[in-house]
Amino acid sequence: MSEKEWPLWEVFIRSKQGLDHKHCGSLHAPDAKMAIQMARDVYTRRNEGVSIWVVPSAAIAASDPDDHESFVEPMAAKIYRHPTFYQLPDELEHM
Amino acid sequence: MSSSTCEFALRMGDNALILGQRLGEWLGHGPQLEEDIASANIALDLVGQARLWLSLAGRLEGRGRDEDALAYARAQHEFRNCTLVELPNGDYAFTIVRRMLFDAYQRVLLGRLAGGAQAEIAAIAAKSKKEADYHWRHSADWTLRFGDGTDESHRRAQGALDRLWGYTRELFVPDPVDPEADSLRGPWLALVEPLLKEATLAIPAETKFISTGKRGLHSEHLGYVLAEMQFLQRAYPGAKW
Amino acid sequence: MYTQSMDLPGQVQLAGDSPEERRFQARVDADAKIEPRDWMPEAYRRTLLRQISQHAHSEIVGMYPEGNWITRAPSLKRKAILIAKVQDEAGHGLYLYSAAETLGQSRGEMMAALNSGKAKYSSIFNYPSLTWADVGAIGWLVDGAAIMNQIPICRCSYGPYARAMIRICKEESFHQRQGFDIMLSLARGTPEQIAMAQDALERWWWPCLMMFGPPDQDSTHSAQSMKWKIKRVSNDELRQKFVDVTVPQAEILGLRIPDPELKWNEQRGHYDFGPIDWDEFWRVVNGDGPCNRERLAARVAAWEEGRWVREAALAYSHRKYRREAA
């Protein structure tokens, strides 16, 4: 009996006004609303005034690390080796 | 400062303390790691609020009792928390729905206190209100997910609501310590009713049941909570930790 | 220490000698960071995945011995500090699961491996926390040992693991201090409190020494992990460092370390210490320690009983987003 997992989200935090958002890790959440809430609890210990972006990990397109010598158009390569990255979870269709 | 202000601070502190105690039981046992982190944040907030309110109560009382003397040396009948917060956690639906009902109450009550005339109370209330807003967002969101999730989650959430609803009446019973308690019911319902409707949960029928925890007359559950919470201090009287 | 079970023969695969592997090794030798999509030997990936996931499991199983005392903490301040510490452990577990997922295993798969008993976690968490002094001893000794192990990993070759460790080390600062502070309060307290502290030290000392894993001579596959810069310091070296640092701390507490052979060796410039019972170590690592079954049962219960919760959250998301799209 296999349970469908909560999708994986990448978390980007702007910790102070004037700074860029920085990637700080990932977490599992059922949707964007909960992902943001959890990111606040996990990655900012609830500091106010920070800006949080969450992106489904599967939505990130990455350059191929083998082609860093020349400019390459972003490929559909995924950022992780995770096997389930390559199937878009149903719930993402409506986001 | 009247002794009823001291009583009021005790009620606030004991509510936060006992609910924080119950929440602390979940750490390591929650349904997902991310939720354990959220629960811990909320438990921390509540223990923090308890410390502020109990310290204030001790100062107002003027008998030299600090937050720990109040938390660890009072007998059961001296605790002033509402019965709602001392009930066992049950499953996650029960835990969440109980919190949702209480978080809504905290929001409206603390909102009123933050604008009140008594400076010390207003200060604690202002800080706690921000936390209560956050707690409500969390418990309201989960209530929606349970009510409008799967058949099983709906069944559990409705069952929890059916068992818990009767314990909310106590929150709005006015008395000399809190003469305006009944005026909070309207704003509280304004938060809770739309949420339950969106969650497809039915509001249980009113009954004549009233719990009496805030008067010091508790359910059988508080005895066990205190036995666990207070045991070290009672087993080693006079020791410093 | 998160690879204790990997010191069994056959657990760590050795590198091959292809051109790609040699190029990879050259990058590692030059202290370049390996990132998730870089080419890596399959053996490197598997070794790392096992180590990081076992490290993550250790953090979340580690929530139990201290978490058990949250409801019984003897002051509100101690209660708050303990909740914060256990919360940190959950957070650290999460950072590490996050790093492990970049290598191709999902959280669900890792949980299944843990719950089935296949995946290991640090042996130390299979010991029971019997008194409040245990909470102090765990912070002082177990966190002390963990910090010693963690700092070198901040320089490990795999980017996500190194970055997770840096984040963890930043948050670790108060963990050991709070444990030592508890021990200090007890050591300066009533005769019963002093006895409580002494008893806890006696029960946790040897298991803490075992945390660092088998002696180097029995860890035949450490060499490969060192080459790949996954492991940065040897077991014996870390264990010795731990003893050297901790003995003076015990002296400050006025507590007696339960080792009659413990004494300063002027020639070596280190403390000599007595033999470790490696039979006990392997028994505990292989599932027959005092609490293994309970720890596992707690994890399985949390996961299984939480299934309906996770499913409900997903079902709600599906329905909500379908409605909004309509």
Q: What is the pLDDT along chain C (326 residues), one digit of tens a residue?
A: 666 766 555 555 666 788 889 999 999 999 999 999 899 999 999 999 999 999 999 999 999 999 999 999 999 999 999 999 999 999 999 999 999 999 999 999 999 999 999 999 999 999 999 999 999 999 999 999 999 989 999 999 999 999 999 999 988 878 999 999 999 999 999 999 999 999 999 999 999 999 999 998 887 678 888 899 998 889 999 999 999 999 999 999 999 999 999 999 999 999 999 999 999 999 999 999 999 999 999 999 999 999 999 999 999 999 887 766 65
For C30, half-sphere exposure in the C-beta direction (CA atoms, 13 angstrom radius) is 8
- C136 contacts C186 by C-beta, under 8 angstroms: yes
Q: Which of residues 96-125 of C touch A (CB under 8 A)?
A: 98-99, 101-108
* C36 CA: distance to closest CA in chain A (Å): 6
Question: Which of A3, A24, A81 has its CB closest to that of C108?
Answer: A3
Question: Which of B44, B238, B241 has its CB closest to that of C80?
Answer: B44
CATH class of the region B3-235: mainly alpha
CA C32, distance to chain mean position in Å, is 26
pLDDT value at A90 more than 50: no
Express each pLDDT in B110-155 by its tens digit.
999 999 989 999 999 999 999 999 999 999 999 999 999 999 999 9
Long-range contacts of the stretch C289-293 (C-beta < 8 A, 24+): C289/C123, C289/C126, C289/C127, C290/C126, C290/C127, C290/C128, C291/C125, C291/C126, C291/C127, C291/C128, C292/C126
How many CB atoms are located within 10 Å of the residue B94 CB? 19
Q: What is the mean pLDDT of residues B83-100?
A: 98
The DSSP code for B85 is: G
Taking the domain A8-81, which CATH number applies? Answer: 3.10.20.520
- Touching B (3+ Cβ pairs <8 A), the chains are A, C
- C95 contacts A25 by C-beta, under 8 angstroms: yes
What residue spans define the domains of chain A?
8-81
* A72 CA: distance to closest CA in chain C (Å): 16
For C250, half-sphere exposure in the C-beta direction (CA atoms, 13 angstrom radius) is 22
* Interface residue A79 vs chain B (CB under 8 A): no
The secondary structure of C217-264, three-state, reads: HHCCCHHHHHHCCCCCCCHHHHHHHHHHHHHHHHHHHCCCCCCCCCEE
Distance CA C232, CA C69 (A): 34
pLDDT value at A69 more than 60: no
Q: Do C307 and A79 touch (CB under 8 A)?
A: no
Distance CA C245, CA A15 (A): 36
pLDDT, position A93: 37
Name every chain C residue with its beta carbon within 8 A of the beta carbon of A91. Answer: 314, 317-318, 321
Distance CA C117, CA C297 (A): 10
pLDDT, position B60: 96
* Interface residue A42 vs chain B (CB under 8 A): yes
- The percentage of residues in chain A with a pLDDT greater than 70, rounded to a whole number, is 64
Q: Which of residues 280-309 of C touch B (CB under 8 A)?
A: 298, 301-303, 305-309
Question: Which of B34, B134, B137 has its CB closest to that of A38?
Answer: B34
pLDDT band, residue A95 (cuts 50/70/90): very low
Q: Do B141 and A28 touch (CB under 8 A)?
A: no
pLDDT, position C218: 84
What residue spans define the domains of chain B?
3-235
